[in-house]
Amino acid sequence: MKKKCLILALSALLLFSFVGCGADEEAASGSTSTSSTSSTTTSSTTTAQATDEVRSYDMFIRSQYHDWIEELNWYDVAEERTGIHVNYIDGPLEIADTYTEVDQRLASRTLPDATMLRLSQAKVYGAQGAFVDLAPYIKEYAPHIQAYIDEHPDYLAYAADDQGRIFAFVRENPQLIDFMGYRADHFEEAGIDIASVKTVDDLTNAMRTLKAHFGASNPNYYPLSGRESALRFAYLFGAAAYVDENASGGIYYAHEKDNCFNIKADGAYEWIQTMKTWYDEGLINPSWVEGTNTEGDWEAQTLQGDSSLFYDYYNRAEWFMSNGGPTIDPDYDMRVMDMLVDEDGNIIQATTNTLYGTDNAIAVNASCDEETIITICQFMDYFYTEEGIELANWGVEGESFQYNEDGSRSFIVDYTTEETKPAGEKRWSFLSDRLTVCKPVDQEAFYAWNTPLIAEAASRIVQDQNMLERPVIVYTTEEEQRLSNLTAAVYNNEVAGLTSFIVGNTELNEANWDAFIAQMDRLGLAEIEQIQLTAYRRTMGLD
């Protein structure tokens, strides 16, 4: 309620403050000056002209993102090639605080030329006149972004409002999928052939063998452990949240990848039944199921040999190898398992994120002068050219990567050497899951820029056919507000109810399960699913 009141208050203030905005343009925009006098208003090029003069603009950004950008060799090359320099203005360290400060700066008219923000902020305030409608500028001055939009209509559907206005550049995400890490040395010692672990039943039996072997001498040993929510295995039973043209199941909104489940799915009951078996037999860390296992707890358990398996972020196996595992135990050998298959031998598709996210959009202050708006668009456009895409994903040929005889590319700088340099030191880095600039993500480069352990695993696992379809859905402001209010309460109650079934506080039987679903529907699950379906059909142009 407080957040809603703040938005309404800011909206009223903005509507008032934009009356006579032009007279106060300099104060509102921060610095919109440029040092170039070249004819940028008639050119669509994004590379530097034959001049030593450099254009610039100011941008508000989370301080940590600025620190990362300052370290990037390829970013310096981009500014040199475009002849455009960005003066970053540091926001808070925490991302949520950064978004709050955007609200505050809008109200106080101290927002600079450009800002990172949530897409929802850009749409709400843009409609009130706070941000530039970029659509006509993209069409005239950013031809490569326009070509990308033409080839990716879902970008326009997501970024634009119902009038076709684009109030922010939207960042493309790498397609992330979690990996199942396992202690290869533990499996070998317990006599388990990893090649035999193909199905969920195989996994359960492997954990039983591990428990019998290591648990006999270690009462703190549980084969499977993790952090945050343990309710991440629904996809193995076909019970991930989804939405398509016909129906919607579970909370898909803001849960496209993580904490993603559908209690009404045919396999949902079996999912919880299996997790109850894991819990009852001591195959999964009980603290994790009960919600008290912190990230530090999980890391300590996995490093010290109190667990052998996890399902988490794609590069976590390497983290354990690089953060003490082999030091604690010279035989420590963390690897990545192949994806599990169903009883028919088909790979069980895992959840992933959407191609475009709601966070880390970039908007342009409506009080900017024309030249500054064009400068910003041209800088952004560079990263949609072939040269810019290659630079931001691979770097510079001969310095960070090479072309191979078959035409493919490979990095010639070492991931570990570069990524372990002291903070503030220049490096080659291509972590596209961080905000640097809005650009198309080269999936091959993103996963190749890792240690050999992760790069090899990604080559096996990160394939389109291994991932569930995660459509980008555009919600109206009213739908966003309603979903935001409903999902927090419904999700927390779902988690509490499912956990109660697993730990045995509520008997798991068909009657109690049906009653649980009915209760969640009364709390708002059915309404959430209907909103998601309506928004999906509208986004896809089906209604």
Quick check: is 236 in a domain? no
* pLDDT score of 40: 34
Give the phi and the psi of residue 66 in degrees, each rounded to 5: -60, -45
Q: What mean pLDDT is predicted for residues 132-155?
A: 97
Quick check: is 447 in a domain? no
* pLDDT score of 417: 97
CATH number for 315: 3.40.190.10
Quick check: is 317 in a domain? yes
Q: What mean pLDDT is predicted for residues 346-358?
A: 93
Mean pLDDT of the chain: 91
Same domain, 198 and 125: no
Same domain, 110 and 70: yes
Quick check: is 214 in a domain? yes
Maximal C-alpha separation, the chain: 78
Partner residues linked to 115 by β-bridges: 60, 363
The domain tally of the chain equals 3
Same domain, 269 and 383: no
Domain that holds residue 187: 178-230+285-351+456-470
Contacts made by residues 489-494, CB under 8 angstroms, sequence distance 24+: 489/523, 489/524, 490/251, 490/520, 490/523, 490/524, 490/525, 490/528, 491/251, 491/255, 491/259, 493/519, 493/520, 493/523, 494/251, 494/261, 494/263, 494/520, 494/525
Angstrom distance (rounded) from CA 310 to CA 265: 24
Same domain, 426 and 391: yes
Query: Pseudo-torsion of CA 333, 338, 342, 346, nearest 10°?
Result: -170
> Could you give the residue ranges of the DSSP H alpha helices within 83-233?
95-108, 119-127, 135-141, 143-151, 153-159, 184-189, 200-214
Model confidence pLDDT, tens digit, residues 59-108:
999 999 999 999 999 999 999 999 999 999 999 999 999 999 999 999 99
Q: What is the pTM of this model?
A: 0.83
CA end-to-end distance (rounded Å), the chain: 32
Quick check: is 16 in a domain? no
Model confidence pLDDT, tens digit, residues 175-187:
999 999 999 999 9
169 in Cβ contact with 117 (< 8 Å)? no
* Inter-CA distances, 28 with 23, 119, 131, Å: 10, 21, 12
Quick check: is 337 in a domain? yes
Same domain, 201 and 124: no
pLDDT tier, 357 (very low <50, low <70, confident <90, very high otherwise):
confident
Three-class secondary structure of residue 51 per DSSP: coil
Same domain, 169 and 212: no
Q: Where are the beta strands (DSSP E) in 184-307?
A: 242-243, 248-249
Closest CA to 26 of 134, 136, 113, 104: 113
243 in Cβ contact with 252 (< 8 Å)? yes
Closest CA to 374 of 55, 53, 6: 55
